Structure 1
Amino acid sequence: MINIAKIYTEQETSLNPIMGKRIAVLGYGSQGRAWALNLRDSGLDVVVGLERQGRSWEQAKKDGFEPVSTEDAVKKADIVIFLVPDMAQRLVYREKVQPYLREGMDLVFAHGFNIHYKLIEPPNFVDVYMIAPKGPGPTVRDFYVKGGGVPALVAIQQDTSKNALSKALAIAKGIGATRAGVIETTFKEETETDLFGEQTTLVGGVMELMRSAFQTLVEAGYQPEVAYFETINEMKMIVDIVYEKGFSGMLKAVSDTAKYGGYRVGKEVINDEVRQKMKEALDRIRNGEFANEWIEEYNRGSPALKQLMNDVDNSLEEQTGRKLKELIERGKPKS
Structure 2
Amino acid sequence: MQKKRQWWKLIIWAIVIIGAYYLYDNYQYKSAINEGVVTRENDEFTKEVNETFTILHGNSPTVIAKRLEEKKLISSSSYFLRYLKNNNLDSELYSGSYELNNIMTLSEIAIKLTTKAEFIKILIPEGLTIQEIDARLASKNIFTAGEFEKCVLQTCNFTNFDFISDFTILSKRKYLEGYFFPATYKIKESELTPQIFANKMLEAFEIRAKKLDILDGKNGKTLQEIVTMASIIEKESSTHSGKEPNMISGILWNRIDQNIPLGADATIRYALKKDSSALTRIELQKDNTFNTRKYKGLPPHAIANAGEASLKAAINPSDTKYLFYLHDKKQKIHYAITNTQHENNKTQFCGGSCE
TM-score (norm 1): 0.25
Which of structures 1 and 2 has the bigger CA Rg?
A: 2
- The answer to which structure has the higher helix fraction is 1
TM-score, with normalisation over the residues of structure 2? 0.24
